[in-house]
């Protein structure tokens, strides 16, 4: 079968290559899935670059943490799924950028027929993160303000729609002013353009002089620092990414470290999901299905590439102003 592999960390377009490898056989408790589509997510590219601390690559390594496929074969003891089922494929070590993938059967989720492949391929990472961060980790109450960076990303848009549905007001940080109108149509209450001045100053002017109680950030660096400064004295901030790779400074202003009870916490799906009970996982899956049907946690599909065009796919996935999620389609020529 064809699979995307890399022999060392580096820039994805340079180190990723399509290779022919033996078709894997499922072992005890495992299932083999014929992959239909797999998204190119920021976490995939961080992993290839060696910046994704949660997963250690063992070379030659495969990539691709999520996708959609058809169960092709099952190993001994598998009861969760059966051959022929279409499933959401969660692949913790990576390996969905391939024609076939073998994963624990318990990490497959059978999906309803009415959900399109593009949505099922992106079923888990962004939708689950939006739901867990907003409803469970932060547990933002109705009527409160939630401040978020990278609001124009796929996950940022999901958070805007989910917050609107749950009665939460959002303040959304973008770099480009032309993004504001589009996000307002999605339901954003306030859009903050970072080039207009310090984020914390804008928050206190537009929203509340005391700051906001809830914030989510994936940029860090100066953006994350200004978001922390925008917190209310009882505020809580989640960091779920590091687009700049730069540190957040929380100790450069005594007003924010010697008063109040501001909290800075890291969110990583790979930490939270294994700690959910089976019942909680099933409920999370059903919540995603229901919200996906409502259009709340849907993904905007972008361009699709074959495995042979992996370099073009990863370059496109990081293009500024790109519209929609990039997908790899292993069956395409």
The pLDDT tens digits along the chain (333 residues) read: 999 999 999 999 999 999 999 999 999 999 999 999 999 998 899 999 998 877 888 999 999 999 999 999 999 999 999 999 999 999 989 999 999 999 999 889 999 999 999 999 999 999 999 999 999 999 999 999 999 999 999 999 999 999 999 999 999 999 888 788 889 999 999 999 998 999 999 999 999 999 999 999 999 999 999 999 999 999 999 999 888 878 888 866 776 666 778 899 999 998 898 898 889 988 999 999 999 999 999 999 999 999 999 999 999 999 877 788 999 999 776
DSSP state at residue 98: B
| Domain presence at residue 294 | no
Are 145 and 259 part of one and the same domain? yes
Interatomic CA distance for residues 13 and 314, integer angstroms: 6
Q: Pick the last residue of a domain from 255, 270, 285.
A: 270
Are 62 and 164 part of one and the same domain? no
Supply the pLDDT for residue 243.
81
Are 43 and 95 part of one and the same domain? yes
Contact 198, 223 (CB under 8 A): no
The total domain count for the chain is 2
| Domain presence at residue 285 | no
Q: Is 195 exposed, middle or buried (0-12, 13-18, 19+ CB in 10 A)?
A: exposed
Are 264 and 310 part of one and the same domain? no
| Domain presence at residue 82 | yes
Domain limits for position 171: 126-270
Are 118 and 141 part of one and the same domain? no
Q: Pick the last residue of a domain from 270, 288, 307.
A: 270
Are 146 and 19 part of one and the same domain? no
Closest CA to 54 of 257, 217, 266: 266
Are 95 and 229 part of one and the same domain? no
Predicted confidence (pLDDT) per residue in 35-93, tens digit: 999 999 988 999 999 988 778 889 999 999 999 999 999 999 999 999 999 999 999 89
Long-range contacts of 311-318 (CB under 8 A, 24+ apart): 311/12, 311/13, 311/14, 311/16, 313/40, 314/12, 314/13, 314/16, 314/40, 314/45, 314/48, 315/13, 317/40, 317/45, 318/45
Are 261 and 132 part of one and the same domain? yes
- Which residues are registered as beta bridge partners of 243? none
Cis peptide before 71 (omega within 30 of 0): no
Predicted confidence (pLDDT) per residue in 143-160, tens digit: 999 999 999 999 999 999
- Which tokens in the block code for residue 230? 């925008």
Q: Pick the last residue of a domain from 253, 270, 287.
A: 270
| Domain presence at residue 153 | yes
Are 154 and 203 part of one and the same domain? yes
Are 134 and 14 part of one and the same domain? no
| Domain presence at residue 292 | no
Are 73 and 118 part of one and the same domain? yes
CATH number of the domain at 220, please. Answer: 3.40.50.720
CATH number of the domain at 100, please. Answer: 3.90.180.10
| Domain presence at residue 187 | yes
| Domain presence at residue 291 | no
| Domain presence at residue 80 | yes
- DSSP per-residue codes, 156-173: HHHHHHHHHHTT-EEEEE
Are 131 and 259 part of one and the same domain? yes
């Amino acid at each position: 079968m064809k699979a995307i592999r890399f022999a060392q960390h580096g820039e994805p377009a340079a180190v990723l290559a399509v290779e022919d490898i033996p078709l894997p056989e499922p072992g005890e408790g495992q299932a083999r899935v014929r992959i239909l589509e797999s998204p190119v997510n920021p976490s995939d590219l961080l992993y290839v670059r060696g910046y994704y601390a949660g997963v250690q690559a063992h070379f030659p390594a495969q990539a691709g943490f999520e996708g959609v496929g058809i169960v092709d074969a099952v190993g001994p003891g598998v009861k969760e799924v059966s051959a022929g089922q279409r499933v959401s494929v969660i692949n913790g070590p990576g390996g969905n950028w391939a024609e076939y993938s073998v994963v624990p059967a318990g990490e497959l989720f059978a999906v309803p027929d009415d959900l399109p492949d593009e949505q099922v391929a992106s079923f888990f990472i962004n939708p689950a993160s939006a739901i867990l961060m907003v409803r469970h980790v932060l547990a933002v109450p109705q009527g409160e303000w939630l401040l978020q960076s990278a609001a124009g990303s796929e996950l940022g848009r999901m958070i805007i729609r989910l917050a609107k549905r749950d009665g939460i007001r959002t303040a959304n940080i973008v770099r480009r002013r032309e993004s504001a109108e589009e996000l307002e149509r999605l339901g954003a209450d306030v859009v903050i353009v970072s080039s207009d001045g310090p984020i914390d100053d804008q928050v206190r002017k537009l929203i509340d002089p005391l700051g906001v109680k809830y914030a989510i950030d994936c940029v860090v660096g100066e953006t994350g620092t200004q978001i922390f400064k925008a917190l209310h004295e009882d505020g809580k901030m989640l960091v779920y990414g590091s687009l700049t790779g730069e540190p957040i400074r929380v100790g450069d202003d005594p007003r924010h470290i010697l008063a109040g009870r501001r909290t800075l916490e890291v969110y990583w799906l790979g930490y939270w999901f294994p700690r959910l009970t089976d019942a909680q996982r099933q409920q999370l899956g059903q919540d995603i299905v229901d919200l996906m049907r409502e259009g709340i946690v849907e993904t905007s599909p972008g361009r699709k590439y074959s495995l042979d065009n992996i370099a073009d796919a990863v370059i496109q996935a990081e293009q500024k102003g790109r519209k929609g999620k990039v997908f790899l389609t292993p069956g395409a020529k």
